[in-house]
Amino acid sequence: AQSVTQLGSHVSVSEGALVLLRCNYSSSVPPYLFWYVQYPNQGLQLLLKYTSAATLVKGINGFEAEFKKSETSFHLTKPSAHMSDAAEYFCAVSQISGSARQLTFGSGTQLTVLP
Amino acid sequence: ETGVTQSPTHLIKTRGQQVTLRCSSQSGHNTVSWYQQALGQGPQFIFQYYREEENGRGNFPPRFSGLQFPNYSSELNVNALELDDSALYLCASSFASGGYGRNEQFFGPGTRLTVL
């Protein structure tokens, strides 16, 4: 079974600083990987996805992630944090369950942006 | 383009009761997945419906069941509610054309279920 591990349940950065949220995956086949963001009392919004095309993936709101097979990582970055980036971020891998394609999520990283 | 909608937004039930949650998929999508997100955790896959049939299930007991309707909307039913069923229930829609379909799933805002 495929899985993802998010290192750091809480990350704090100052406004304007680099954001780095870590995700490592475990997969015996080329994975499809995703980052989602969840604002308080809301559902999940897709930030970006990796589907075996370019290894550097650009998403919405200035976020990007790089797929590194040698490190089995898919870390999320943003050069300059904004207050509006404060939210919970989930890394997920897509895998087959029966005839369905399901998402398996990490435990999440809560991002706090300090003024 | 209409996004994924869910109803109700909040629900309070007592242990042993039954509950039905509803989801309307995004326009153009034909597949619906349901996830349970307990407080402080990532979402867990419950099951997926395609062509009105369940085509995949996670590690959830049979008292979790669902339906998909011809217009691709869906229901999640939970019988004999337990305290641990308290969670945010998320519906996600996607498009599949045979096979396993595309990867991208779009989520609704969720239904917050509290079991007392």
Tens-digit pLDDT string for chain B (116 aa): 578 999 999 999 999 999 999 999 988 888 999 999 999 899 999 999 988 999 889 999 999 999 999 988 999 999 999 999 999 999 999 887 755 545 689 999 999 999 99
Q: Strand (E) positions, A1-115?
A: 3-7, 10-14, 19-26, 32-38, 44-50, 56-58, 64-68, 73-78, 87-97, 100-105, 109-114
- The rounded percent of chain A whose pLDDT value lies above 90 is 74
> Does the CB of A34 have a partner CB in chain B at under 8 Å?
yes
Residues in B closer than 8 angstroms to A92, CB to CB, are: 42
Question: Which of A101, A104, A107 should one mutate to test binding to chain B, selecting the residue with the greatest count of B CBs within 10 A?
Answer: A101
Q: Which residue has the tokens 């890394």?
A: A91
- How distant, in Å, are the alpha carbons of A31, A49, A107, A114, B78 from that of A111? 25, 20, 13, 10, 33
The closest of B89, B85, B87 to B76, measured between CA atoms, is: B89
CA distance A31 to chain B (A): 11
Of B42, B48, B55, Cβ closest to residue A105:
B42
Residue B8: the pLDDT is: 96
Residue A1: the pLDDT is: 77
Question: Which of A97, A107, A109 should one mutate to test binding to chain B, selecting the residue with the greatest count of B CBs within 10 A?
Answer: A97
Q: Which two tokens stand for residue B10?
A: 């909040």
Whether residue A21 contacts residue A75, with contact meaning beta carbons closer than 8 Å, is answered with yes
Residue B84 main-chain phi, psi, to 5 deg: -70, -5
Distance between CA atoms of residues A4 and A27, nearest Å: 9
Cβ neighbours of residue B63 closer than 8 Å, sequence gap 6 or more: B78, B79, B80
Burial class, B24, CB count within 10 angstroms (exposed 0-12 / middle 13-18 / buried 19+): buried
Contact check, Cβ <8 Å, A105/B43: yes
Cα of A19 vs its chain's centroid, Å:
12
Residue A30 has pLDDT above 90, yes or no: no
| Mean per-residue pLDDT of chain A | 92
Contact check, Cβ <8 Å, B107/A99: no
